Structure 1
């Protein structure tokens, strides 16, 4: 019992420390945090697989609130339950809160300085790059057939042309996906879900590894 309690405390501290280190160095928050979260959780810590991270990021992007905080809550809960979610959220929000308080107190006095303006432009460019990287990583796993590709293009065009809240597009996409799945099954067409694609990729990788 003591061993399990100690292991749990260590896990909670590791969750808190991991997200505590991510927050201060990720400018822009939100999707800009995703590459670093994914690198920390899947590549370094190996707490979750890439497939599990893809599912968590999809849920985090669909749920209300900031995607970075949502992702930390899902990951923390997945690894340590409610206490894990609290530890992860505390780790990712405390540094941000402190930094924002410090910046807000001095930015009004330094906003007109040329060096500060130049630094902000550089930060904007870096944030855009991080967001594009996160979008590419998610699209690579979410867009895997003609249907998902068409949906992604249509939704992007609608959001660019019309002033529609993204939450409505997420809800519409949910219902369209269910309807298309039912129609394909009724017509006897091949239905390929993301889970089946991931399972096939794993089997293919095991096959290659076995014979090589």
Structure 2
């Protein structure tokens, strides 16, 4: 039964998460409340791992959640269900693209979708930020590390891998969870 639930939930996420992998976060956050497959803290860890591994974040998250929930078969089903709507939509759109590419209604729809996706990602950011910084007992180390890395990011503009590695090392050294 868990495999059917994984397929249905990730198929829905695949249909409605327009805007990339980070757009899946509000849906994954909702699964915390509705399915209880994982906690917000575990979701934060999944996001960190998904951003640290090669590949699209949404696919990595689906694979991670599927594995966490239903082992290897769950990972395969969740990943397949997440990408299946995109394949179906791309096949349909490719057949009609030349007809609608300059359609004012299609252009207006995409102009409306962009701020909605930005808002969804913003809400996810706030949720994950609160979990990462303020979860558990108050720990000033988390805030200091966050501010220090934010300063370094704004000042030096290095490759994101550098900051991910730096965050992992600092988290390990200071035993942050």
| Structure 1 position 156, deviation (Å) | 3.7
- Residue number among 155, 163, 168 corresponding to 2:149 in the alignment: 155
Q: Does 1:18 align with 2:9?
A: yes
Q: 2:131 maps to what in 1?
A: 141
* Structure 1 match to 2:67: 77
Report deviation, 1:104: 4.2
SS in 1 for 2:158: coil
Instruction: State the shift of 1:35 in Å.
Output: 1.0
Structure 1 position 115, deviation (Å):
2.4
Q: CA deviation at 1:57?
A: 2.5
State the number of aligned residues.
173
RCO higher in 1 or 2 (8 Å CA, sep ≥ 6)?
A: 2
TM-score by length of 1: 0.71
The residue that corresponds to 2:159 in the other structure is 165
Q: 1:106 to 1:157 in 2, by over 3 A?
A: farther
Listed one character per residue, the Cα deviations across residues 1-38 of structure 1 (whole Å, up to 9, x for unaligned) are xxxxxxxxx22122111111221112113111111122
Whether the aligned pair in 1 keeps the contact of 2:13 and 2:24 (CA below 8 Å) is yes
Matching residue of 1:37: 28
Give TM-score, length-normalised by structure 2. 0.84
Structure 1, 159-168 or 62-71: larger mean CA deviation = 159-168
Provide the C-alpha distance between the structure 2 equivalents of 1:153 and 1:108, rounded to a whole number of angstroms.
48
**Structure 1 unpaired stretches of 5+:** 1-9, 182-190, 195-212
| Unaligned segments of structure 2, at least 5 residues | none
